[in-house]
A and B are shown apart, each in its own frame.
Chain A
């Protein structure tokens, strides 16, 4: 892991030093959205998104800096033009496209499901009556929870990050949470978070895409798409997924 990062970093540095003309993109990402982006024990930002972007940048020969701003701040920074694009496990939806998101091709299909604390009596949506459910602000999971809230009579409570969402369930402040299935599966597997996924609660899911917020940045999306096709063909893409999702 460290070696790959070191090699990539030195590759990036060489490119910076060697190619004064190469464009330097500023990319924003979320702070903790494991296994797509998170900070490892050495303080390095790692994850599927981070490595896919690195592999694509190498393939396409552009340089970039990536900064974990958090979800809301990433969107705001891209809209304000402080960042060029964001890769933060963003689901490609029509609603987002209408409000100005410009997405790349999908790079991962993710569903959303419900999880409860281990040993919880909640076995399905019908057990959530008059209880509260934790979700992250502005996510597909929030939309999914909102769409069920009326029918099953629960309240949706919003937090800023996935760890906060899980904490609220583990601590008993909320009866269940909704989040992206691979994220929760990873937290349960890698961190031993005392949650369990509830079978049969997943929705249809959507593709994750790299996003920009201005038509001027179309070139970056094109590069991303071309690079994505190349790393899928070369097998680098599968290697990255295998590494994180096992």
Chain B
């Protein structure tokens, strides 16, 4: 155990950094995708709702490992060889971020849709009857109420996404699990390595949860 920590500790710490970087990129774009798609799914336009539903169902219906392989290996091949356009290369970080953003974005969209729908219709109707346009009613009246109910689910989704980065070890991104596999291969100490890696994830996620609790309390007091 100490041998792994002293010899490979710095390597694993760097890998944890890469995991966080990947999660950060993924979550950032996932929030954007989730917000756009989530709002699209409550719009009156049928086309918008249909596009949102197709996106969510498509992404939710495909395991993330398949999505990862598809984006990293499949998309450049499709682009360069089958379509013959050429010139597209994706690094593991780019492919991984896209993959996380799409996957997490689909779940976020559902959380946001559910959050908006949980706000009583009367709120929107009241705002509209006061003469506010739809968008302003949404942004000023409905969303602020919806966000409070969404927060726990969103934090939960953040944690799931952080752990999902481990799936991206298969596309060669040097995050924690990929690095740990290399450490195991070099030392043949599976138990020790995986115990350390498990503890590292646990610590980071516990810290994230603590931060989330603080945020949740702050938002509640504001209300």
Selected interface stretch from B42-50, B124-132, B170-178: B170-178
Within 8 Å by CB of B170, from A79, A138, A164, lies: A164
Extra contacts besides A76-B184, A157-B172, A159-B170 (12): CB < 8 Å: A72-B184, A75-B185, A137-B181, A138-B184, A142-B185, A158-B182, A164-B73, A168-B72, A170-B77, A171-B77, A171-B89, A172-B88
Within 8 Å by CB of A172, from B89, B174, B181, B185, lies: B89
Complex alpha-carbon distance, A138 and B186, angstroms? 6
When A79-B190, A173-B92 are in contact, do A72 and B181 touch as well, CB less than 8 Å?
Answer: yes
B123 at the interface (CB under 8 A from A): no
Complex alpha-carbon distance, A99 and B183, angstroms? 13
B134 at the interface (CB under 8 A from A): no
Shortest beta-carbon contacts, A-B, top 8: A138-B185, A157-B172, A172-B89, A171-B76, A99-B188, A167-B73, A159-B172, A137-B181
Q: Nearest Cβ distance between residue A178 and chain B, in whole angstroms?
A: 13
Within 8 Å by CB of A171, from B80, B178, B184, B187, lies: B80
Contact A138 B187, beta carbon cutoff 8 Å? no
When A99-B187, A158-B181 are in contact, do A173 and B170 touch as well, CB less than 8 Å?
Answer: no
- Return chain B residues, CB-CB under 8 Å to A99: 187-188
A134 at the interface (CB under 8 A from B): yes
Chain A facing B: main interface SS? mixed
Q: Hey, which bits of chain B sit against chain A, CB under 8 A?
A: 72-73, 76-77, 80, 88-92, 95, 169-172, 174, 178, 181-182, 184-188, 190
Q: Hey, which bits of chain A sit against chain B, CB under 8 A?
A: 72, 75-76, 79, 96, 99-101, 134, 137-139, 142, 157-160, 164, 167-168, 170-173
Contact B182 A173, beta carbon cutoff 8 Å? no
Complex alpha-carbon distance, A96 and B89, angstroms? 36
Contact A157 B190, beta carbon cutoff 8 Å? no
- Return chain A residues, CB-CB under 8 Å to B174: 157-158
When A157-B174, A159-B170, A160-B170 are in contact, do A172 and B92 touch as well, CB less than 8 Å?
Answer: no
Q: Nearest Cβ distance between residue B114 and chain A, in whole angstroms?
A: 37
Contact A79 B188, beta carbon cutoff 8 Å? yes
Q: Nearest Cβ distance between residue B121 and chain A, in whole angstroms?
A: 49
- Return chain B residues, CB-CB under 8 Å to A96: 188
- Return chain B residues, CB-CB under 8 Å to A101: 188
Q: Give the residue name and chain of the B residue nearest to A163 (CB).
A: B73
| A–B complex contacts, Cβ < 8 Å, 22 sampled | A72-B184, A75-B185, A96-B188, A99-B187, A134-B172, A137-B185, A157-B172, A158-B172, A159-B172, A164-B170, A164-B171, A164-B172, A167-B77, A170-B77, A171-B72, A171-B76, A172-B80, A172-B88, A172-B89, A173-B90, A173-B91, A173-B172
- Return chain A residues, CB-CB under 8 Å to B91: 173
Complex alpha-carbon distance, A159 and B73, angstroms? 12
